[in-house]
């Protein structure tokens, strides 16, 4: 197995764990944690392809990962703000209980 294949497998496993967390947990914050894990797995793929691909001096993969980190930070802030707003409105973060779109 080449080193790149090892990194890709770790990233795939991490992505699957994040997806499982996002799909199976009840708590909205845990769903956001799963989404963060999925974003991080994608970043690992980008950096691994940058390292083992041709022309690493062009920095494309690493730049993509850095911008992805910045966008993920914005996503986390807005997502957790939404969770707090929903908690204040519905008094719960249990996603099985939050089943109405009408306030």
Nearest approach in angstroms of CB 39 to other proteins is 10
Is 25 near other proteins (CB under 8 A)?
yes
Residues 62-91 that bind other proteins (CB under 8 A): 62-63, 65-67, 69-78, 80-85, 87-89
Judged by DSSP in three states, 94 sits in strand
Which of 96, 99, 100, 102 is close enough to bind other proteins by CB under 8 A? Answer: 96
Report the C-alpha gap between 41 and 9 in whole angstroms.
Answer: 10
Q: How far is CA 96 from CA 27, 36, 55, 79, in A?
A: 9, 21, 48, 18
Is 93 near other proteins (CB under 8 A)?
yes
Total residues at interface with other proteins (CB under 8 A)? 75
Residues 34-53 that bind other proteins (CB under 8 A): 34, 36-37, 40, 43-44, 47-53
Nearer to other proteins by Cβ, of 76 and 102: the residue is 76
- Whether the CA torsion 13, 14, 17, 22 is positive or negative: it is negative
Nearest CA-CA partner of 26 in 82, 81, 93: 93
């Amino acid at each position: 197995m080449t080193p790149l294949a090892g990194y890709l497998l770790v990233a795939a496993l991490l992505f699957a764990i994040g997806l499982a967390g996002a799909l199976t947990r009840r708590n909205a914050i845990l769903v956001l944690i799963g989404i963060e894990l999925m974003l991080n797995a994608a970043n690992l793929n980008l950096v691994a392809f940058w390292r083992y691909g041709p022309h690493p001096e062009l920095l494309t993969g690493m730049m993509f990962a850095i911008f992805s980190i910045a966008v993920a930070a914005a996503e986390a802030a807005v997502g957790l703000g939404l969770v707090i707003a929903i908690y204040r409105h519905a008094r719960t973060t249990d996603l099985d209980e939050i089943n109405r779109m009408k306030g």
